[in-house]
Amino acid sequence: MRREPIQIGAWSYVKFRKNILEFKAKFTLQSDRTKSLKNKMYKCMLTFSLFCFGFFSASMADSFNQKAHPITFSIKKVSEGKYQLQMDLPPDYGFQKLAPHKLLLSSKGGLAVKKADLTLTGPTHPKKVEYFEYVKAMPLTLEGKGSLELNGKIFYCNFVKNICIPGKVSETIEIP
């Protein structure tokens, strides 16, 4: 018994070819939809990231422009070459007595720091014993003219909010 090969008729070949073309069209349409959806998703992510970057950079610029602590510094000339560095806080604030305060001085533009006693001393605060009421002026011996840069960390407390904060100091004071 001999078997005859199965022959696909013209009609079934046309159906088969039509099915393949329909599948390709659907697949192409689905991939186009997927690409379109991916493009929309990328555009949304890009817009969101640009918005966040703009907001973040604006808020950072504001924080860089604003002072991060309430401590004010001033320099008073006592005599030729002798100055006093004064640190002040608003009312209801105090400097911590036993905290590891760190204050560094550097000079620019022809100014030279010859001698500086940067230890915090002063009377005890009447409300709280652990704090200075104010800090006495610190003696400095400077030579020349230029700018004096103050960098460091000063620990102070807000008595109203009952919190203590390490204030990062970065100030520049001009010495005429």
Predicted pLDDT of residue 29: 59
Domain assignment present for 4: no
Predicted pLDDT of residue 133: 84
Predicted pLDDT of residue 69: 76
Number of separate domains in the chain: 2
Residue 139 has pLDDT above 90, yes or no: yes
Q: Please give the average per-residue pLDDT across 161-173, as a whole number.
A: 89
Q: Are 129 and 58 part of one and the same domain? A: no
Report yes or no: 169 and 142 within 8 Å, Cβ to Cβ. Answer: no
Domain assignment present for 142: yes
Q: Are 112 and 141 part of one and the same domain? A: yes
Last residue of a domain, one of 25, 48, 66: 66
Burial track 126-157 (b if 16+ CB lie within 10 A, e otherwise):
eeeeebbebbebbebebeeebebbbeeebbbb
Higher pLDDT, 60 or 12: 12
Higher pLDDT, 157 or 45: 157
Provide the domain limits for residue 139: 72-175
Instruction: Quote the CA–CA distance of 151 and 61 in Å, as a whole number.
Output: 20
CATH of the domain at 142: 2.60.40.1250
The string of pLDDT tens digits covering residues 67-83 is 677 888 889 999 998 99
The string of pLDDT tens digits covering residues 102-137 is 999 998 888 889 998 888 899 988 878 888 888 999
Predicted pLDDT of residue 32: 64
Instruction: Quote the CA–CA distance of 91 and 48 in Å, as a whole number.
Output: 44
Predicted pLDDT of residue 65: 46
Report yes or no: 94 and 146 within 8 Å, Cβ to Cβ. Answer: no
Domain assignment present for 2: no
pTM exceeds 0.75: no
Q: Are 87 and 22 part of one and the same domain? A: no
Tokens of 62: 């504001």
Residue 95 has pLDDT above 50, yes or no: yes
Q: Are 125 and 162 part of one and the same domain? A: yes
Q: Are 96 and 171 part of one and the same domain? A: yes
Mean pLDDT of the chain: 79
Q: Are 83 and 131 part of one and the same domain? A: yes
